[in-house]
Each structure stands twice: as structure tokens, then as C-alpha cells.
Amino acid sequence: MAFFIETMLGGLMTGMLYSLVALGFVLIFKASGVFNFAQGAMVLVAALAMARFSEWSNAALGGDSLFLANVIGIIGAGAVMFLVAWAVERFVLRKLVNQEGATLLMVTLGIAYVLEGLGQTFFGSEIYSIDVGMPKDPVIMFEGLFEGGVLINKEDFIAAALAAVLVAGLTVFFQKTAIGRALRAVADDHQAAQSVGIPLNKTWVIVWCVAGLVALVAGIIWGSKMGVQFSLVTVALRALPVVILGGLTSVPGAIVGGLIIGVGEKLSEVYLGPFVGGGIEIWFAYVMALIVLLFRPQGLFGEKIINRV
Amino acid sequence: MKFRTLALAAAIASVGLSSAVFSPAASAQAQEQFFPVLVGRTGPVAPNAVPWANGYVDYLKLINAQGGINGVKLSYEECEFGYATDRGVECYERLKGKGATVFQPLSTGLTFALTDKAPVDKIPLITAGYGRSESQDGSVFTWNFPLLGTYWVAADVAIQHVANQLGGLDKLKGKKIALVYHDSPYGKEPIPVLQERAKLHGFDLQLLPVTAPGVEQKSTWLQVRRDRPDYLLLWGWGVMTSTSIKEAQATGYPREKMLGIWWAGAEPDVKDVGAGAKGYSALALQHGAEPNSKVVKDMLAMVHDKGQGTGPKDEVGSVLYMRGLISAMLGVEGVRQAQERYGKGKVMTGEQVRWGLENLNLDQAKLDAMGFAGVMRPVQTSCTDHMGSSWVRVHTWDGSKWAFSSDWYQADDKVLRPMVLEAASKYAAEKNIQRRTAEQCAQ
């Protein structure tokens, strides 16, 4: 029983981190109708910028204040993500207003490659650390209830809590603020939004900035867990089944989808994996997402698209 | 419009300029021995593959600084393949046309893909410490050279080391040993030997695959926590290794009970984990980090101090830098040996280099003179043995550096030889290859 609880908790905490990355996809899709394949590359660039600015400023400060170095790192990385958002809007999206979704999707693939290449060129391709004081050792709980207790990974727990706070904040931002409503209006209909005075270009910069902020938080959490390196881009691939399952237009969908995928892949690997040689969790997540699509093509929480002809 | 035209012109000019300036092979002369260099300077394995590539290229530069191979200067060209087999095959096809006489694929998957091509193109493949384990049998795998050791050697020595820690091979009975492996041809290579050893000694082998690249391993480590293996063998590469060590810390699995393969035992694997990796051990393909060796001192003096180093100076002598350097040295010595037979001071063909590699005889005196004293033990190949040696040590991360923690081991031929022969014979039957006879070997 204790092991089952550990597996569930591990899945939930991992799922929360998937939700965080999935949120980046959802935000941009909601506001611009673009499926942003560059989200993984944005996570990498944000984490690289944070790690290197923090490292450089720590060296400049004589290694005395890691906290201050991290603050400078976060500000520097935030500035880089703003620059990315501005450049994407100015040089890419502005030229492609009202283009087909497939065109925009391919463009984000191109952006991903550019960001990966430029990020590693400017900041390096070695493994860099982000030390934000996350505890690395586990804690054993409920030893009185279960033999051997239940192991909780403190780092995962804190990361999941941070992700939950960010997700809640973004939900409020989208539902309750004027800017959030403007973003949703732009997503629904560019021309109608413009006609009521919503500036399209500014809105896109804002939404890419918000996605950049989400990428920065995801980059700090994943970078602290596994080191900052190229493989961070693959984390985005783990979030794809989450958005398929949760629905591309739903913030709650990204959260619930993340949790379902997180728990589902852990349970499948641990309990089904041994019967088929293991290594099934990645594709099993897609199986779950595809099963959902069979019954709800728009995902669990996605909006049903009805075209009048 | 003007800006676009200018940008396009600048892009075209920069591509042309970069290929002219940054490709050393562009200026290769007919009297130069050409070495293709397959590198993974980008992508998920870059942190590990970059030092290997730097060590490889630096050694070629060192040989040139020392006057070449009997006067024959070396040229090289890098091809970026990012550890992707398809791109590696493209690199091979491109570089073979430029006069390649020896290839080092740096990927087991790519080695599998090139093994059928090498005999047709007559280009030997050196796979030092990786590749197909049965290719040790040179009478079937004429063009493959898994010099210094294979994954079967590594698996065999890993079990010997675990037994040593427990107090003898008989103490393995009833123990539980887990293999956490990269779910790829590379990661699967040791399984037959571990299964054979498990049968022989009565230990329980638990197989735990990790899907590449290995950034998410929680399920694997939940199973480790549940089953609590007595020892854990780690067949990781790139990000997988450091993630495994971090997960071990997060699940409380003792690092002292973990033993990595030699591709999971370098600075990039533990640097980011720091003190959390303290006690973690890995096999060493003879060498470890060798900052005090003579070859490293020569490298610093003759290449880096003259501003010609490929990578950062502080990387020189690190584990994977040394692996690249030694890999290049083996290729260079193959050419040198070939020149002994086919003419000193001449550029060798692929077939001639193949003969050189098959007749390598790097005894200790020769290695010491080349600057490898304390780094390597002798390597001697033959027609039937394309591996040349199976010496392995274990080194342990002390929180800040790798330090040797065992004496030398050698793979047990009684266990491995029958397996090599059987697998090679099976391959020969599949491909309709006749084993070379003693007469053919003597040619």
C-alpha cells in the first residue's frame, strides 16, 4: 500500500510539473491560435540565461551572495524572455497575421531551432547548475502506518507547490483581469478584437512574455532538478499528451491533464511495465491521450469547435 | 527589400566563408592522412561528447606539432551528427568520399548501421569501448575494431567488482543486482553477459530500462526503492547518468552501491550533482582523469600554450577528453603500424590501415615513451582478437574529483569467449560470411 501511495504521489508531483510546461502551450494557443512548438526551446533558453547570469554575477560578487546572484539571474533571464517575445512578434507573427494554423505551427518549429542554436551559442552547451536552495534529500513519513514509511521527495513537493501557485495565478489573470480578457478576445477573433480597440501586436507581446515567464519558472524547477542542458527541450515533449488530453484552450485542462498523465504514466510503468519489458511510460501517456480523443476530440476541457457552413 | 537582399548576401557569404576558413580539410593536401571526426557538439549528449571531440582533435594537432606520422601530416574534418544514427550515416557517406581511411562512430547504434558498409567501402571502424561486443572476433568482423574493451567486458568486470566488494563470487548467490539502462542498442548490450553471470552465480538480475534521453526516471527509481537491489549497475549516457544519480539521492539509494559503465563515469555526469554523487563509482576504460600524465603535459605545451587548443584548457586531462585523445591515438598508431609494412612516410589506404590495426602492438615501453605511463596498459591485436586488451579499473567520485578505487581487472575469457564466438558465428551465418582462415589472416 505504501508503495502504491508513493507511486501516486510521485505521479501527481511530476504531473504538476508537466502542467506547468503544458500551460505555456495553452497560453499561447488561447491568445494567438498558434500551437507553439518552441515552448521546449523557451524553457531551455530561460534556464540557460538564469544559470549563466546567476553564475556570472556570483563570480562578480566574489561568491558571497547566492541569493543576490539568483535575483540578478532571474531578472536577466526575464529580460531575455521579453526580448524573445518582442522579436517573435516583431519579426515573425506580425508578418503572418491571418495565415493558416499549419503555417504558424511550422514557423514555431523554426523558432524552436533558432532559439536552441542561439541559446547554446550565447550561453554555452555544457551542463550548468541552478541552485535555488531546493532540498535534495528525501523525507520518510507515516512510518507508524506503513512498514518502511512513505518516501516524499521534498524537491518535487516544493516544485509542485510552486507550479500550483503559478497555475492558480495565471488562471486568475486570464479570467479576472482586463488584459486576460483582451488576450482571450484576440484568440477568439483577431479582427473583432481589433475593431473594439484591442491592440493586436501589444497583446501578442504580452502573451509571449507570459509564456516566457512560465518557461522561466519551468526552467528553474527542471534545471534545478536535472541540471541546465539541452535535454530540457525534451521536457516539452512530455507535456504534449497533457495538452492533447486536457484540451488546447483550457488552463484547468492543462492542470487536470498533467495530473492524469503524471499518475497514469507512473502507474503504467510500475505495474504494467514489468510484463512487457518496461520503458512504456512515454508512449503509454500518448495512449491515454488518444483514448480521450476518441470520445472527446476537443480534449477533456477543450472548447467544442462548431463551424457554420 | 534592400535589407533582405543584404541579409541574404551576408548569409551566403558567411556560409562560404565558414566552410573555407573553419574546415581544416579544405586545405588538405594529397600527402596528408585524412581523419574524419564524427562529433556531437550539439544535442542531448553534447556535454559528454564535446570533451571527447576536443581530445580527439587535439591529439591530431599534437601529432602534427610533433612532425606527423613519419612525416605524414594529419588533416581532419568534423561532421556534426548529434548522436542521431541517420545523421551519422550521412556524415559517413560524405566523409568517406574525402579520403577517410578510418572511422570512429562514437555511437553503438551508428556502429550497427556502419558494420555492413565498412567492408564494402574498405574503411575500418574503431569503436574503443563501445559498439558490437561480438566484433571482437576479427575472423568474422574483419573491419570492426572494438579496441580496449566492449560492453561485454564491462558487464563481466562489473560483476567481478561487485563480487569483490561482497567478498567473493560465491557471495553473489541470492543477491539482487539491478541494471538501469539506456533503452537503446547501447544499453542492451550488457544484458546477455549479465544473464549468463546470473545463471552461473545464482544472483537475481532486475532489468530497468530508461527511455532516452532519460530526463524523467521517477518510475524506475520507485521500483528501485521498492525492490532495494543490493547493487545497481548504471548503463547511462549523457543526461541520463546525472539524472539517475539525482534520483538515487532523492530516493535514498546509497551511491556506494552504484556502479556505472565507463560512459557514465566522467566529470559532466557528476559535476552538477556535486556532493550528492559522492561515493558513486564507475568503470574506467583503463584511464581516468589524467591531468598529470606526460601526454597531457605535452598537449598543454605544444598545442594549448600555442593558442591552438580545440576546447578550454581546464578540460585537458578530464575523463572524456582522455577517451577522445586515446581513441585518436589508436587510429594514429594503426596508421603508423601500417606504414611499417607498406612504406614509412606514405599516406595509407583504408585496407592498409586495417592491417595496421590488426597488427597493433603497443607494449608498455612504447606507451610510456608516448606519454601514457600510468594511463594505459599494453594493447596487442591479432586476426582473431580485434579488441587487444580488456583491462579495466574502477574510479570513484569523492565529491570533487574522480580517484581510482580498485586494482586492475581483466574480463574472464572463459565466460566471454564462447559467447563472442557464438554471436559472431550467428552473424556470419546471417550475412553469409566465411570465417577467415589462418592463411588469410597471415596475408
Copy the grid coordinates of residue A288.
Answer: 491515454
**Cβ–Cβ gap B215/A120 under 8 Å:** no
Cβ(B204)–Cβ(B176) below 8 Å: yes
pLDDT at residue B398, rounded to an integer: 92
pLDDT at residue A89, rounded to an integer: 85
Chain mean position to CA A96 = 25
Give the β-pairing of B391-397 and B281-284.
antiparallel
pLDDT at residue B20, rounded to an integer: 41
Which value does ipTM take for this structure?
Answer: 0.78
Selected residue of A17, A229, A233, A242 to mutate for chain B interface (largest B Cβ count, 10 A): A229
Contacts of B272 in chain A (CB under 8 A): 127-129, 227
Q: Among B44, B209, B225, select the one facing A279 at the smallest CB separation.
A: B209
Exposed/middle/buried for B238, CB within 10 Å: 0-12, 13-18, 19+? buried
Lowest mean pLDDT among A60-74, B83-97, B367-381: A60-74
Return residue ranges of chain B for CATH 3.40.50.2300.
28-150+290-390+422-442, 151-289+392-413
Gyration radius of chain B over CA positions = 22
Would you call A12 helix, strand, or coil by DSSP?
helix
* % of chain B at pLDDT higher than 90: 76
Torsion sign over Cα B266, B74, B296, B379: positive
pLDDT at residue B18, rounded to an integer: 44
Judged by a CB distance cut-off of 8 A, whether residue B252 touches chain A is: yes
Phi-psi region of B407 (alpha: psi -120 to 50; beta: other; left: phi over 0): beta
Q: Is the pLDDT of residue A140 over 90?
A: no
B440 pLDDT band, cuts 50/70/90, is: confident
CATH of B28-150+290-390+422-442, one of 3.40.50.2300, 2.40.160.40, 3.40.630.30, 3.90.230.10: 3.40.50.2300
In angstroms, the CA A85 to CA A42 distance is: 10
Cβ(B90)–Cβ(B114) below 8 Å: no
pLDDT at residue B22, rounded to an integer: 41
Give mean pLDDT, residues A231-249.
83
Contacts of B302 (CB under 8 A, 6+ apart): B62, B65, B66
pLDDT at residue A127, rounded to an integer: 82
In angstroms, the CA A77 to CA A45 distance is: 8
* % of chain B at pLDDT higher than 70: 93
Would you call B28 helix, strand, or coil by DSSP?
coil
Phi, psi of B403 (to 5 degrees): -140, 140
Give mean pLDDT, residues B41-56.
87
Q: What is the pLDDT of residues A44-69, one digit of tens each?
A: 999 999 999 999 998 888 877 888 99
Q: What is the pLDDT of residues A164-194, one digit of tens each?
A: 888 788 878 878 888 888 887 877 777 788 8
Superfamily of domain B151-289+392-413: Response regulator (3.40.50.2300)
Chain B stretch 6-45, residues whose beta carbon is closer than 8 A to a beta carbon of chain A:
41-44
Copy the grid coordinates of residue A215.
Answer: 518557461
Q: Amino acid letter at B382?
A: S
Lowest mean pLDDT among A63-77, B144-158, B331-345: A63-77
Exposed/middle/buried for B170, CB within 10 Å: 0-12, 13-18, 19+? exposed
Q: What is the pLDDT of residues B222-260, one digit of tens each?
A: 899 888 999 999 999 888 899 999 999 988 899 999 999
Lowest mean pLDDT among A153-162, B145-154, B255-264: A153-162
Contacts of B209 in chain A (CB under 8 A): 277-279
pLDDT at residue B17, rounded to an integer: 44
Give me the residue label for grid cell 598508431: B333
More confident residue, A133 or B130: B130
Chain mean position to CA A171 = 14
Q: Among A3, A155, A230, select the one facing B226 at the smallest CB separation.
A: A3
Contacts of A235 in chain B (CB under 8 A): 215-216
Alpha helices in B210-318 (DSSP H): 218-227, 239-251, 267-270, 294-302
Copy the grid coordinates of residue B215.
Answer: 530526463
Give me the residue label for grid cell 511530476: A14
Exposed/middle/buried for B20, CB within 10 Å: 0-12, 13-18, 19+? exposed
Total-model pTM = 0.84
Phi-psi region of B19 (alpha: psi -120 to 50; beta: other; left: phi over 0): alpha
Q: Is the pLDDT of residue B311 over 50?
A: yes
Chain mean position to CA A21 = 1
Q: Which of B381, B375, B373 shows the shortest CA–CA distance to B356?
A: B381
Selected residue of A95, A152, A155, A269 to mutate for chain B interface (largest B Cβ count, 10 A): A269
Strands annotated E in B289-404: 361-362, 379-380, 391-397, 402-404
Phi, psi of B242 (to 5 degrees): -65, -35
Domain residues of chain A, as ranges? 15-226
pLDDT at residue A197, rounded to an integer: 84
**Cβ–Cβ gap A137/B246 under 8 Å:** no
In angstroms, the CA B174 to CA B392 distance is: 26
Give mean pLDDT, residues B307-332.
96
Most confident of A186-195, A281-290, B37-46, B409-418: B409-418
Lowest mean pLDDT among A152-156, A186-190, B210-214, B224-228: A186-190
Alpha helices in A92-199 (DSSP H): 101-123, 154-176, 178-188, 190-195
Give mean pLDDT, residues B137-153.
95
Contacts of B246 in chain A (CB under 8 A): 136, 225-226
Chain mean position to CA B29 = 29
Q: What is the pLDDT of residues A4-26, one digit of tens each?
A: 888 888 889 888 888 888 888 88
pLDDT at residue B337, rounded to an integer: 97
Copy the grid coordinates of residue B285.
Answer: 576504460
Give me the residue label for grid cell 576479427: B138
Q: Amino acid letter at A64?
A: D
Give mean pLDDT, residues B101-113.
91
Q: Is the pLDDT of residue A42 over 50?
A: yes
